[in-house]
Structure 1
Amino acid sequence: MHIYKQKGFSIIELMIALLLGLLIIAGILQLFLGITQTYRQNDELARAQENGRIALTFIAKDLRMAGYWESEGADTDTAFFLFDCDSKLKKCDKDKFGLKPGQLSIAYQPPDGMDCAGRSSDITRGDLIVNAYYVAQDPSNNNESSLFCRSYNLTTDTELTPGQVLISGIESLTAQYAIAKSSSGTTEKYLSDAEVQKVDERNVKAVKVTVEASSANNTVQPYSTTVQIKNAL
């Protein structure tokens, strides 16, 4: 009769196996955390891109209507980019809805009878309105920087929308204005909002708008679009 002795692993072998197992688990966890972080970053970047594109969509839609006059005999000399609301254009609001850094003001007669916030009350056919876009902190959303719009009815001298959040996560808004040569009508150069106030605004043929959108990790990405002014004289 043969008696076989059972053999097991030694302490050293068990410790080595345990160490190898821990290394494998650590590698798997590291891979999982890396994939999760990459997914989160891509999701935040996609959200910032979406916010930037939506913001540009709002502004570009209005820019395509800039200087549109539906009524016959309308005052086509009225600036569709309001540099200042003088006595001719009535008082507008307390800061005159003027063209200033971080704000873009657009004037036209809305064919759909709505302002930038979708408001249709206090607007009748043929009214000249101003939509102003600007960036400010949203107190209702932890003071997150957001794109706002407000509007004014120049015909009735009435404030329409005092301030409406359009999209959150927008850090800045800038505009550059393409000025056409008086002789050829071709674009000569782009001017800042301060420089363009010194020229005839009816020579503006295109506007380049840039917004900066931020993600949850405070990464800021610029997005731009250029809109031709179809109604420029």
Structure 2
Amino acid sequence: MQNPLYLPRQAGFSLIELVIATALSLILVAGVATVYMGSRQTYNARDELSTMQENARTAIKVLTKHLEHAGYTTPARLPLAKAFYVEGDPAPVSKSCGGGASSIAISDPDDLAATLDNDDPNNSGDSIGVVFFADSALAVDCGNELMPLACQAQAAPHPEYAQIYNTFYVATVAGMPNLLCAGSRSTAPLEVAEGVEAMQLAYGLDQNADGTVDNYLDAAAVKLANRWDQVRTIKASLLLRSREPVFNTAEARTYTLLGTDYSRNDRYQRTVHTAVIYLRNLAVNEGV
């Protein structure tokens, strides 16, 4: 008698099991990808934030260092009509100090940005220009360029020849917003800090000569009241932008700089930084 044919039971996965396993794998991969992308975005955000903070520190440090020179008249107390180069003032003209030395080296005097109030949220904000006399103790502009010895106060044919102009403004360079300085001894503007998208400035006035700032006004108000001689401090507020987009989708946000609102709707990360700069040469207790 023949034994019945034995067919072994098939081993492996059924179609339904394969579909379920594939689906679970896809869910797992999607989860891992989500975690990875989230971690990457967090890392990028932290990296960009660190860079923005460093750029802000650099910008404020440079602004403080060079704006503090406003109104320096040397120990001889040379006459200076105004410590600020303001919109409407005559453009500086280079003077010959003898021996081939000239007082201004910048190729285009129009690059020297005058003190100007600009509250248009679609623009880059305010600009500022300050004036001081060069001597053996202080003879460089914001680009670290030296005033020739023949043009410094102790040797210049006329005190006016010894004046140095330092100006600051925000402009876009190669697609990136930057804080720039244009000094009268530099041949061209210099990039100071990357990522500065806007700048607003307010001027602290001591209106009763008691050594204390009474209120802050923008440049337009100070100019209208002709109170540049009462300015003792400058409040600077900067809007910093990340180098690269950080967020996955555009985010609508508003940033306020000294009362001026800047609305943005994109993927860039931004921060606001504000500092007060004390103008030592214009302080009441120094007799100015």
Structure 2 counterpart of 1:64: 68
Equivalent of residue 79 in structure 1, options 64, 77, 82: 82
| TM-score, structure 2 normalization | 0.66
**Percent of aligned positions that are identical:** 26
Q: Which amino acid aligns with 1:57?
A: K
Equivalent of residue 163 in structure 2, options 128, 139, 144: 128
Offset of 1:33 from its aligned partner? 1.0
Deviations 1:35-84 (A, max 9, x none): 11121122223222222221121111112222223242422x43222236
Q: Is the 8 A contact 2:87 2:116 kept in 1?
A: no
Structure 2 counterpart of 1:137: 172
Structure 1 counterpart of 2:103: none
Aligned pairs for 1:58-207 within 5 A: 58-75=62-79, 77-83=80-86, 91=93, 93-94=109-110, 98-101=114-117, 102-110=126-134, 111-120=137-146, 122=148, 124-126=151-153, 127-138=162-173, 141-142=174-175, 144-152=176-184, 160-197=186-223, 198-207=225-234
Q: Which consecutive residues of structure 2, in runs of 5 or more, have no partner in the other structure?
A: 1-7, 95-108, 118-125, 154-161, 246-267, 283-287
Q: Which consecutive residues of structure 1, in runs of 5 or more, have no partner in the other structure?
A: 153-158
Q: Which amino acid aligns with 2:202?
A: Q
Q: Provide the alpha-carbon RMSD of the alignment.
A: 2.9
Moved over 6 A (4+): none
Offset of 1:186 from its aligned partner? 2.0
Deviations 1:79-102 (A, max 9, x none): 222236867x96574588532132
Q: Kindly tell me the number of residue pairs found equivalent between the two proteins.
A: 220
Q: Which amino acid aligns with 2:62?
A: F
Structure 2 counterpart of 1:229: 279
Do the aligned partners of residues 214 and 228 (structure 1) sit closer, same or farther apart at CA in structure 2, a change above 3 Å counting?
Answer: same
Q: Which amino acid aligns with 1:48?
A: M
Q: Is the 8 A contact 1:109 1:128 kept in 2?
A: yes
Do the aligned partners of residues 165 and 90 (structure 1) sit closer, same or farther apart at CA in structure 2, a change above 3 Å counting?
Answer: closer
Q: Which amino acid aligns with 1:151?
A: G
Do the aligned partners of residues 7 and 62 (structure 1) sit closer, same or farther apart at CA in structure 2, a change above 3 Å counting?
Answer: same
Structure 1 counterpart of 2:254: none
Q: Is the 8 A contact 2:111 2:189 kept in 1?
A: no
Offset of 1:225 from its aligned partner? 0.7
CA distance in 2, matches of 1:191, 1:62: 21
| TM-score, structure 1 normalization | 0.80
Q: Which amino acid aligns with 2:183?
A: S
Q: Is the 8 A contact 1:85 1:91 kept in 2?
A: no
Q: Which amino acid aligns with 1:192?
A: D
Of 211-220 and 170-179, deviating more is 211-220
